[in-house]
Structure 1
Amino acid sequence: MGRFIVRARQTAAQIGWYWGTLMGDNHYRRYAEHRRLTHPDEPVISEREYWRMRHSTTESGPNPRCC
C-alpha cells in the first residue's frame, strides 16, 4: 500500500510539472536563466516586462527570445 502512495505522489508531481510547462508557468524562469548565462553583463527584465514582450506582436509575430 505504501508503494502505491509513493508512486501516486510521483505521478501527481509529474503531471503538475507537465501542466505547469504547458501553461507557461516556468517560461520566465527559463528565460531569466538563459539571459544570465548568455548575457551576464546585461540586466534581466522583470517578469511583467517579459510577459508584455512575449505577447506583443511585431511584423514577424511575437518575439519571446533574446537571441
Structure 2
Amino acid sequence: MRLRQVLDGLRWYVREFTGEAEYDRYCERHRRNHPYAPVPTRREYERLRIQQQEAHPTSRCC
C-alpha cells in the first residue's frame, strides 16, 4: 500500500513537471466550456499555447 502511494506521488510529480497534467486540465476545461467543439490534439494545444505566449509575453530576458 505504501509503495503504491509513493509511486502515485512520483507519477503526479513527473506529470506536473513535464506539462502533461496541464494538457489534461486544458482538455477537461475545454470539454466543460465547449461541449460540442472537438478537443485540440496535444500538438494543436502546444501550438496554441506558444502563440498565446508570443502574443502576450511576460517576463523574458530577451
The TM-score normalised by the length of structure 2 is: 0.68
Where do 5+ consecutive residues of structure 2 fail to align? none
Where do 5+ consecutive residues of structure 1 fail to align? 1-5, 63-67
Where does residue 53 of structure 1 map in the other structure? 48
After TM superposition, which residue ranges in structure 1, 4 or more long, deviate above 4 angstroms?
none
Which structure carries more helix by proportion? 2
Superposition RMSD in Å: 1.9
Matching of residues 6-17 of structure 1 within 5 Å = 6-17=1-12
The TM-score normalised by the length of structure 1 is: 0.64
Count of residue pairs the alignment pairs up: 56
The structure with more radius of gyration:
1
